[in-house]
Structure 1
Amino acid sequence: MSSAARAFFVFGDSLVDNGNNNYLATTARADQPPYGIDTPNRRPTGRFSNGKNVPDIVSEYLGAEPTLPYLSPELQGEKLMVGANFASAGIGILNDTGIQFANIIRITKQMHYFEQYQQRLSSLVGPEKTQRLVNEALVLITLGGNDFVNNYYLVPYSVRSREFSLPDYVRYLISEYKKVLSRLYELGSRRVLVTGVGPLGCVPAELALRSTTGACDPELMRVPDLYNPQMIELLSQLNAELGSEVFVAVNAFKMHMDFISNPEAFGFVTSKVACCGQGPFNGIGLCTMLSNVCPNRDIYAFWDAFHPTERANRIIVSQFMTGSNEYMNPMNLSTILAMDART
């Protein structure tokens, strides 16, 4: 790996977790086959995928090796220079999201680990070098989906759904997210990709629960409609306050909807049925050794009830790189890398 490759830090949930939960006593983990079936040694890695997830593919574009999970004993010495992945399956913006999974690394704890990481790196290369590495790093944060599927909509009358109407809940989440993003900035992050929520009503898990025809669930589709515009507004507001394009909005909704609404155009046979699972749309329960598993993962958009296949992840990251303003706002990752290479 060239030492010139910039460091990469990842925060968030199972869409970007690359194995932290393997080190925790929790049910939210992907450490059993058939997870990882398309990795070189066909072994599960803790990623909720048949192969690589979004951060892995971003690392490829950065010309870097994949970041290690923060809890991995291998993350030391030289490896610290690559960055770290703090993400943990099941978490949300709110600390009460995912309580059913016990022991997961809530976002406040992920920030705490990021501070700890900086102290560890500092004792290795000194505070100035550490600060430069952190300021120049690329950061990806993926949060929010679980605040709906594993909190607000988890049971018919969840505590949060009794407390808030959906529009009020979204406003509350955005106000809490502002604190998280401001903290990231305080901790030195200067280039942060922030993903909006995807089409929650279209994932196989929700189709299995809420749809007989395979049409996306309209109630859950209210979520991205309400949440994403407010998130974009929040990022513009933060950038204006900071006088710099620190936060970049990633339109995960559109990136997913492209292949969900027209799977054939992307070479998928289905965007409704998960490759691994059971029940309607293979959307019920976890993906395990006992599940149905499709023989060819490349023709499925979804690997399990919630997570895209490696091939779908590659389509998503290609939009990170070269997508128009509709996908990446105010600019895509290729533009960011070109700009930052000049400065």
Structure 2
Amino acid sequence: MALRDPKDTISIFWIAPQFLVFGVSEMFTAVGLIEFFYKQSVEGMQSFLTAMTFCSYSFGFYLSSLLVSLVNKVTSRSGHGGWLSDNNLNNDRLDLFYWLLAGLSFINFFNYLFWTRWYCYNPSLVGRRVSPSGAKDSKSSMNDIEMGAGDWLGIAAPPPFSDPTAAGNRIMGGVNYASAAGGILDETGQHYGDRYSLNQQVVNFETTLSQLRTMMSPENLNQLLANSIVVMVFGSNDYINNYLMPNVYATSRTYTPEAFANLLLNRYSRQVEALYSVGLRKFFLPGLGPLGCIPNQLATGQAPPGRCVDSVNQMLGPFNEGLRGLVGQFNGGSHPGATFVYGNTYGVFGDILNNPGRYGTL
């Protein structure tokens, strides 16, 4: 209840903790809703559903005013004023009104639990990634090609490693360990926050391997690994989100393009060897595409309108040639029973850019 002596005062800061809790809860709610709509909505609906989220806030404010009027009307029937009719803390029953709000929140929580039981989580929508510029990053484009190849082979898209349901029989058809901004080097993409580098992705694969060992005999597991196709798409982030960001990373000041390519290939080959050592035998290792032609680099203004950044494309040569040579070495007899295939990504996308008419129109 309020103070009855008008000479006494109460500091406004007594309500600061309540507003702090309210603000934090709103923050987490908003972030969760936006993330849900972007990860679990069909293509093209993310912006619309996000707008509906903010529209729902306006409905909430309207309903709160309606609730106050309704409570006053119902509670004033006894002949006394309503709980909130006098705008006076000494006369109003704000305490009862807050208990009502607590009860409604409690009911709303159980309503949320009810609908979450009926909701069917769709992990196939989680893997979509959009770069800060609004366009898909180079790794997402390559993932589109992988999915197209999977459709051609009659193979369903594997679940992402971070999917909680990626266990049991679901991992028998493969697992997607890809991570936005993750690269061959551990520090690549660290300005974006959490991501899985190549090293961590291999560790994640070993986690999957441990699960498989509990599900099948050693003979069947060896057969499964030998028949599996390993697609490793790496290197682009080490340039886009590392070497080509001199204000954030020191690699461009420490290594020449040739030395940087050798550094990447040395780290890359170690992990390929590690995967071979556990029984994997079929590897597809695509090279880098023309990164100087992606929006990320065109936005730097280093090239005339309509042209790619040639300096960026030229520095990729040592990596692509080195990876091609590495594949040749792997196929030279040092890895019996294994097949390594190099993908000429640069040539494929270069032909698309130079001869777009061959591939249809948008």
TM-score above 0.5: yes
1:151 aligned residue: 242
Distance, in Å, in 2 between the alignment partners of 1:32 and 1:116 is 25
Distance, in Å, in 2 between the alignment partners of 1:31 and 1:238 is 41
Check the 8 A contact 2:40/2:126 in 1, yes or no: no
Distance, in Å, in 2 between the alignment partners of 1:45 and 1:113 is 18
2:166 aligned residue: 75
The answer as to 2:268 corresponding to 1:177 is yes
Q: How much identity, in percent, do the aligned residues show?
A: 26
Offset, 1:54: 2.4
Offset, 1:157: 7.5
How many pairs are equivalent?
Answer: 240
Offset, 1:62: 2.5
Q: 1:78 and 1:34, CA in 2 relative to 1: closer, same or farther beyond 3 A?
A: closer
CA displacement, residues 6-27 of structure 1 (integer Å, 9 cap, x when unaligned): xxxxxxxxxxxxxxxxxxx9xx
Distance, in Å, in 2 between the alignment partners of 1:137 and 1:46 is 21
2:195 aligned residue: 104
CA displacement, residues 89-122 of structure 1 (integer Å, 9 cap, x when unaligned): 1011111111112211111111111111111122
2:91 aligned residue: none
**Counterparts in 2 of 1:270-281, with a 5 A limit?**
none
2:308 aligned residue: 216
The answer as to 2:223 corresponding to 1:132 is yes
Structure 2 segments unaligned to the other structure (5+ residues):
1-31, 47-121, 130-135
Q: 1:221 and 1:176, CA in 2 relative to 1: closer, same or farther beyond 3 A?
A: same
Offset, 1:243: 4.1
1:251 aligns with one of 334, 344, 347: 344
Check the 8 A contact 1:31/1:46 in 2, yes or no: no
Offset, 1:264: 2.4
Output the amino acid matched with 2:126: T
1:226 aligned residue: 318
Distance, in Å, in 1 between the alignment partners of 2:298 and 2:41 is 22
Output the amino acid matched with 1:55: E
Offset, 1:137: 0.5
Check the 8 A contact 2:39/2:128 in 1, yes or no: no
Q: 1:157 and 1:92, CA in 2 relative to 1: closer, same or farther beyond 3 A?
A: closer
Structure 1 segments unaligned to the other structure (5+ residues):
1-24, 269-298, 300-343
Check the 8 A contact 1:97/1:147 in 2, yes or no: yes
Per chain length, whose mean CA-contact separation is higher, i.e. which structure has more relative contact order (CA < 8 Å, sep 6+)? 1
Distance, in Å, in 2 between the alignment partners of 1:229 and 1:119 is 35
The answer as to 2:127 corresponding to 1:36 is no
SS at match of 1:192: strand
Offset, 1:201: 0.4
Q: 1:178 and 1:267, CA in 2 relative to 1: closer, same or farther beyond 3 A?
A: same
SS at match of 2:232: strand
1:47 aligns with one of 96, 117, 128: 128
Output the amino acid matched with 1:154: M
Offset, 1:77: 2.3
Output the amino acid matched with 2:128: R
Distance, in Å, in 2 between the alignment partners of 1:106 and 1:255 is 26
The answer as to 2:182 corresponding to 1:91 is yes
CA displacement, residues 293-322 of structure 1 (integer Å, 9 cap, x when unaligned): xxxxxx1xxxxxxxxxxxxxxxxxxxxxxx
Worse overlay, 159-168 or 46-55: 46-55
RMSD: 2.9
Check the 8 A contact 1:30/1:45 in 2, yes or no: no
Distance, in Å, in 2 between the alignment partners of 1:146 and 1:34 is 27
1:167 aligned residue: 258
Distance, in Å, in 2 between the alignment partners of 1:33 and 1:161 is 39
CA displacement, residues 19-68 of structure 1 (integer Å, 9 cap, x when unaligned): xxxxxx9xxx99459983399x9x95332369972232222222222110
2:353 aligned residue: 260
Q: 1:177 and 1:81, CA in 2 relative to 1: closer, same or farther beyond 3 A?
A: same
Output the amino acid matched with 1:168: A
Worse overlay, 189-198 or 233-242: 233-242
Q: 1:116 and 1:255, CA in 2 relative to 1: closer, same or farther beyond 3 A?
A: same
Distance, in Å, in 1 between the alignment partners of 2:37 and 2:217 is 36
CA displacement, residues 110-163 of structure 1 (integer Å, 9 cap, x when unaligned): 111111111112212233222211111111000001111110111358310111
2:76 aligned residue: none
Check the 8 A contact 2:242/2:248 in 1, yes or no: no
Output the amino acid matched with 2:44: I
Check the 8 A contact 1:195/1:252 in 2, yes or no: yes
SS at match of 1:85: coil
1:238 aligned residue: 330
1:114 aligned residue: 205
SS at match of 1:215: coil
